[in-house]
Amino acid sequence: MNSGFVVLTLCACVFYAGCGLMYSPVVSTVLGTIEKDESGRGVGMNDLAMNVSPSIGIAIIGSLLGSNALAGGSITGATGTAANYANLLLIAAGTALLGLIVFFVFKKKIYEGNHALETEESAK
């Protein structure tokens, strides 16, 4: 990557802005799908998952980037180290897409017993 510091900085800003915008809806989903007395545990488990998962992801992706394990060939036509990066990013994109598909398939089940809505309605 000979693009320079500015491109790297802009990409980092977009990434961290996305992480910040993602946190609140995830916590709302967690709190909306569990009992009110279990909210502390739910947020704790959510925070644990959000703090541990990136560490595991960085370790896996970092080791694969350094090993050139995926440099054999690429559907993008890249070769060598570029093929390794392209293949790894395609796998990461596929994993993210799989996560979205799983969410949309189970969305109804996740929000089925929305305890936050039940609590608001019973308070009226």
Coil, strand, or helix at residue 72?
A: coil
Tokens of 80: 């060598």
Residue 101 forms part of a structural domain: yes
- Does 26 fall in a domain? no
Per-residue pLDDT of the chain (124 residues; tens, 9 = 90+): 566 788 878 888 998 898 888 888 888 888 888 888 888 999 999 889 888 988 898 898 888 888 877 777 778 888 888 888 888 888 889 999 999 999 899 888 877 766 555 555 555 5
Per-residue model confidence (pLDDT) at position 45? 92
What's 79's DSSP letter?
-
Asked if residue 9 belongs to a domain, the reply is no
As for how many domains the chain has, the answer is 1
In a domain, 84, yes or no: no
Q: What sign does the CA torsion over 115, 120, 122, 123 have? A: positive
Q: Print the domain residue range for 110.
A: 95-124
pLDDT reported for residue 105? 92
What does the pLDDT read at residue 44? 92
pLDDT of residue 15: 86
pLDDT for the residue numbered 113: 65
Residue 86's contacts (CB-CB under 8 Å, 6 or more residues apart) are: 74, 76, 78
pLDDT of residue 80: 82
Q: What is the pTM of this model?
A: 0.62
